[in-house]
Amino acid sequence: MSDSAEDVRAYTVRLELVDRPGELLRALQPISDNGGNLLSIFHERGNLTPRGDIPVEVDLEATPGQFDNIVDALRDAGINVIQAGAEQYSDELTIVLVGHLVDTDLSDTLSQIQRSTGASVRDFSLSAPEGEEKESSARLRLATQKGQARDVISEVRAIADEKELRVVEPLLGGEAV
C-alpha cells in the first residue's frame, strides 16, 4: 500500500546536535531529501544535554512511509535521534552510578546507555566531593518506552559491570527486579 496525500501527518523529531557550524543544516537535509515538510524548529542553543550537545526539536509533516525514511536517514547520517514521532517515552526511572566515573569516561558511559537501551538521558548530575581521582556518583533520570524499564536496568547493569561501577536501582512496581 502506498502513502497518499491524505496520509500526511504531523510528527515531532527530537535530536541532539554537536555544537558545530552546519550541523543543523546537515540534520534538516534528510527531511528535505525524503519529502518532509518543515513546520517548526526549536533550537535550544542555551540548554545543553548531559553530553554537551544541543537539543533540537523539529516539527514536520510527512506520510508514515516518508517519516520512517526520514528517521532512518537521520540515523544513517549519524544524527542522534532521541525521540521520533510515536517513539514517545512514557516511563521514567532514576538510577545512581557509583565508582570511578571520570576515569571510566563518563561521556562514553552515557552514550553506551542511550545506544544500548534506547532510553533517553533526561537529567544527569555528578557528585565528586573528593575530586575526580576518588569515587564519585552520578544520578541519571532516564526516559524509557512504556514497559521497557526492566530491560533498561539490565543493560545499565551490564555497562556498569564492564566499567566496574555499582548501580543503585529503583524499585519497580512492587515486583522483584
Return the C-alpha cell found at 71: 528517521
Domain with 60 in it: 5-84
Task: State residue 76's pLDDT score.
Answer: 93
Burial 56-72 (b: 16+ CB within 10 A, else e): bebebebbeebbebbbe
Do residues 113 and 64 both lie within one domain? no
Domain boundary among 64, 84, 104: 84
Phi, psi of 40 (to 5 degrees): -160, 160
Tell me, yes or no, whether 62 and 99 share the same domain.
no
Q: What is the mean pLDDT of each run of 10 residues along the chain (177 residues)?
A: 66 88 94 92 76 85 93 92 68 89 85 79 82 87 81 93 93 55
Give the Å distances, CA to CA, from 12 to 61, 68, 72: 9, 12, 14
Give the Cα separation of 71 and 138 in Å (integer).
31
Number of domains in the chain: 2
